[in-house]
Amino acid sequence: MKILRAMILTGEGAAGLGVLTCLVLAALTAPLFFPGDPLAIVGPPLVSPFSDTAYPLGTDRLGRSVTVELIYGARTTLLVAITSAATALGIGALVGTLAGFFGGIVDEVLMRITEAFQTIPAFLLSLAFISVTGPAIPTIVLAIALGAWPQPARIARAEVLSLRERDFVAAARVVGMHPLEIAVREILLNALTPVVSLAAVIVAAAVLIEAALSFLGLGDPNRVTWGSMIAEGRTVLRGAPFLSIVPGLALVVTVLAVHLTGRGFVAAIGARRIEA
Amino acid sequence: MRRALILLLRRLIGAVPVLLIVAVGAFLLLEAAPGDAVDAYLAATGGADSERVSELRAEWGLDRGPLQRFLAYAAALARGDLGWSTAFQRPVLDVISERLPSTLILMGLATALAFGVGSLLGIFAGARPGSLRDRALSLTSLAVYAMPGFWLGLVLIVIFAVDLRWLPIGGLETIASGKSGLDRFLDIGRHLLLPVASLGIVYLALYLRLMRDSMAEIWKEDFVRAARARGIPRRRLILRHVARNALLPVVTMLGLQFGSMLGGSIVVEGVFAIPGVGRLALEAVSQRDIPLLLGVMLISAVIVIAVNLLTDIAYAVLDPRVGSSGTAA
Amino acid sequence: MSAAPFLSVRGLGVHYRDGRRRVAALHDVDFDLALGGRLALVGESGSGKSTLALAIAGLLPENASITGTISFPSLGAAPRPGRDLGVVFQDPGGSLNPVLSIGDQIAEIVVVHRGVSWRAARSIAAELLDRVRIPQAQARLHGFPHEFSGGQRQRIAMAAALAGEPRLLIADEPTSALDTVVQRELVLLLDELVRERGLTLLFVTHDIALASELADEVAVLLGGRMVEHGPIGSVFAAPAHAYTRALLETRLDLDTPLSARLLEIDGQTFTVRRPSEMSNG
């Protein structure tokens, strides 16, 4: 937890964590403060933001509250972003560790597959996958993870390879531990910094990809998302541009907060190392 | 030159297994999609009796086992046959080739904007790391890189096309304008301004930060201190010594990020109705034209490989240490 | 009948700011160096000898602050790097730009300081490389630093240091990173260059034997202070400070780590003992 304190001390970490905490709290407590269907019509359509306290951010084309939609949209965004990042890290860690551990032909094949996935633009891959499986939260998560797993795989593999250099197998035998056990411990310790900063990058990218997918109408049709809000707002872009601009700002703030948190973490780790 | 050619050859050979795997992936997705090519064909042509259906299947080799189907698929790919587009009722390759130039122009201009201006601003910021202008630029670029490209596009449309009415909302050129030559060129230019900006500005922020961070690292190098000790004036120092070395990792990123930008171009083309390959992918999605979508995926992979090759060559040209086996005695 | 010294240092102190701490690297250093003089700065690592050299060269890092004065009476203004002073660093691998040819790098210095055309600068660069004994200098102008050995790179660095025709050459442990055979060649070359150009030389070393070869005067640094300074003959014959005496007795290579030394200088009494007999650990 000292890391957390160090993070807060850096300006970036404080800002990032602050915003993210607010976001998570808002998302979690949404049903409490705004019970009911977020897509329910609550008032007259196209009310401008900041003009009426009942609808602080205005209403959309059908009279639904932008504020409520925004908060419920946060739920989807965070859910998808975090689970897809976790999935990508999981797949990547597995593939990378296998490749590094077994080496030889297994390594070659797995690395070529990794390269192939990196060659296809991630968004296009997600698009193709969703087209085949149909849009739903689990498939969206998988679609995003398919584009993001190569980088964690490379890092995991690099960590395992550096371990092999250090002749830990012999050391493990001496200590009496199974090599795999030491491997996992060592990997987790050393890979922490690159993994966390990579996690931040993946989460941020996942937020943007999910937004793009739902903007195109490929998000979960039963949920409100910021991307779908922007798409909706596009139809009234001339008259009520705020409907597209506001959810976009939410996206920018979220992605920025994730990046800042990642950078704060890296800075905190770096500072601790110097002091140590 | 020889160094570069050997590198080129090695990368080309290395690209083959990658493309093969992409083809396998595409094939798997094709299989996973409901219905096959015959179903799609019949849906468009109005159906047929089951005898005719089996006939077609046999003709098109769709009644054989998966491995044979894949081999047939791979063979077709090698011939340049990317399948049949159900939405357009034409060969996929034809449809893609028509749309490719627009995307290449969009990507080319966006990359030039992002890398060119981004690097220059990065050098400007990195000339004095920690200074006010550095911190201002770094913070701004962090915020800009957080923007979704399609949202930025909409914002720009609102400002420039709706409110100010300086630029058109979308399309590649004014329809049926009958313009040619320079007029047409300028017309297309006006139409491309906002899309290129939407796509390019976000990546500009990325290259700005990359260049700036790279410069901050190079400033710490011994040879920079040595150059100062030799009296090299500041401007020359920044450009010929610091920036010239800082450029190297940024060029590497150029290749790695191109795929990401290509993905971004899909949505930007959608927002601005640019008739390119990206928008083609969107049309394929909405019309459930899987062969077309996969064709786009394959072509994208080829383009990414080609661009990576080019950046590798550029890197080899820029860094004299590439390809050398070590120091002389 | 003393002419004004070329370099005059008075009350020089240097602090580094490390986070919230201030570390003093030099205290109250005073000395003069005459034109054409050759001064060796001798001491262990951490004695402040490199800091002194870098301070005079104007190359201290940003977190360093200076008190006292460093003046060059005959120059009339602050010394211009490259033009009035030349510096050779310890690490031969690090002092050259890896992406520019050595010819370009040296010619650049010539162009900047002598205002000649690039063509003329390139032929001057070839001459310089030839003078520092890089074989086939004309052809090797197009070579890149990674194509040369450590010893060759250090010689190229010397050529670069002299390209602006400076009066003072500052060398910070120029041979420490090289093996002994290559070291000899470099020392001989340095000696020749200084003599034929009438340069003033200030060099930092931990090797007393090297100091006695190259220098006329020697200054001994201990813990950031200059404890002894004088002509090399008299200092070595009759050292004034106990530390210097102890140094000479042991004829230590001061770079040897404490644990490997057979004989050690007691930091309090400046007597020489075996480490096992030492009062402090």
Sort out which chain B residues have CB atoms less than 8 A from C163's CB and list them: 230
Sort out which chain C residues have CB atoms less than 8 A from B232's CB and list them: 82, 108-109, 112
Query: Pick from A112, A119, A212: which is nearest to B259 by CB?
Result: A119
The answer to whether residue C267 neighbours chain B at the CB level (below 8 Å) is no
The pTM for the full model equals: 0.86
- Distances in Å between the Cα of B48 and the Cα atoms of B39, B56, B64, B90, C186 are 10, 10, 21, 20, 91
- Return the exposure string of C29-67: e unless at least 16 CB atoms fall within 10 Å of the residue's CB, then b: bebbbbbebbbbbbbbeebbbbbbbbbbbbbbeeebeee
Kindly determine whether residue B146 and residue A244, on different chains, have CB atoms separated by under 8 Å. Answer: no
CATH entry 3.40.50.720 includes domain B103-274: no
Q: Would you say B162 and A238 are in contact if contact means Cβ atoms under 8 Å apart?
A: yes
Domain ranges of chain A: 10-275
Kindly determine whether residue B324 and residue C113, on different chains, have CB atoms separated by under 8 Å. Answer: no
Task: Provide the chain B residues 219-248 that lie in CB contact (below 8 A) with chain C.
Answer: 221-223, 225-233, 236, 240-241, 244-245, 248
The answer to whether residue B162 neighbours chain A at the CB level (below 8 Å) is yes
CA C155, C170, C173 angle in degrees (round to 5)? 65
Q: At what angle do helices B290-318 and A104-119 cross, to 10 degrees?
A: 110
Nearest to C63 by CA among C108, C11, C19, C30: C19
Q: Other CB atoms closer than 10 Å to residue C220's CB: what's the count?
A: 25
| pLDDT the model gives residue B207 | 96
Domain ranges of chain B: 103-274
Q: Which CATH superfamily is domain A10-275 in?
A: MetI-like (1.10.3720.10)
Chains touching C by CB (3 or more pairs below 8 Å): B
pLDDT in tens, B222-277: 999 999 999 999 999 999 999 999 999 999 999 889 999 999 999 999 999 999 99
Nearest to B6 by CA among B323, B306, B248: B323
The SS3 of residue A62 is coil
CA B219 – CA B242 distance, rounded (Å): 6
- Asked casually if ipTM beats, i.e. exceeds, 0.90, the reply is no
Sort out which chain B residues have CB atoms less than 8 A from C112's CB and list them: 231-233, 236
**pLDDT by 10s per residue, chain B, length 329:** 676 677 778 878 888 888 888 888 888 887 777 766 666 666 666 666 777 777 766 666 666 777 777 787 788 887 777 877 877 888 888 899 999 999 999 999 999 999 999 999 999 999 999 899 999 999 999 999 999 999 999 999 988 877 777 777 777 777 766 777 788 888 888 888 999 999 999 999 999 999 999 999 999 999 999 999 999 999 999 999 999 999 999 999 998 899 999 999 999 999 999 999 999 999 988 888 888 888 899 999 999 999 998 898 889 889 988 866 544 43
Q: What is the three-state SS of chain C?
A: CCCCCCEEEEEEEEEEEECCEEEEEEEEEEEEECCCCEEEEEECCCCCHHHHHHHHHCCCCCCEEEEEEEECCCCCCCCCECCCEEEECCCCCCCCCCCCCHHHHHHHHHHHHHCCCHHHHHHHHHHHHHHCCCCCHHHHCCCCHHHCCHHHHHHHHHHHHHCCCCCEEEEECCCCCCCHHHHHHHHHHHHHHHHHHCCEEEEEECEHHHHHHHCCEEEEEECCEEEEEEEHHHHHHCCCCHHHHHHHHHCCECCCCHHHCCCEECCCCCCEECHHHCCCC
Kindly determine whether residue B320 and residue C160, on different chains, have CB atoms separated by under 8 Å. Answer: no
pLDDT in tens, C91-102: 887 899 999 999
Kindly determine whether residue B154 and residue A234, on different chains, have CB atoms separated by under 8 Å. Answer: yes
**pLDDT by 10s per residue, chain A, length 276:** 666 777 667 778 888 888 888 888 888 888 887 777 777 777 778 877 777 777 778 888 888 888 888 888 999 999 999 999 999 999 998 898 888 888 889 999 999 999 999 999 999 999 988 888 888 889 999 999 999 999 999 988 888 887 776 666 666 667 777 767 766 676 666 666 777 888 999 999 999 999 999 999 888 888 889 999 999 888 888 888 888 899 999 999 999 999 998 888 887 776 665 554
CA C184, C186, C187 angle in degrees (round to 5)? 65
Kindly determine whether residue C99 and residue B245, on different chains, have CB atoms separated by under 8 Å. Answer: yes
- Distances in Å between the Cα of A229 and the Cα atoms of A143, A245, A252, B130, C212 are 21, 10, 14, 39, 81
Token pair, residue C50, equals: 């490199």
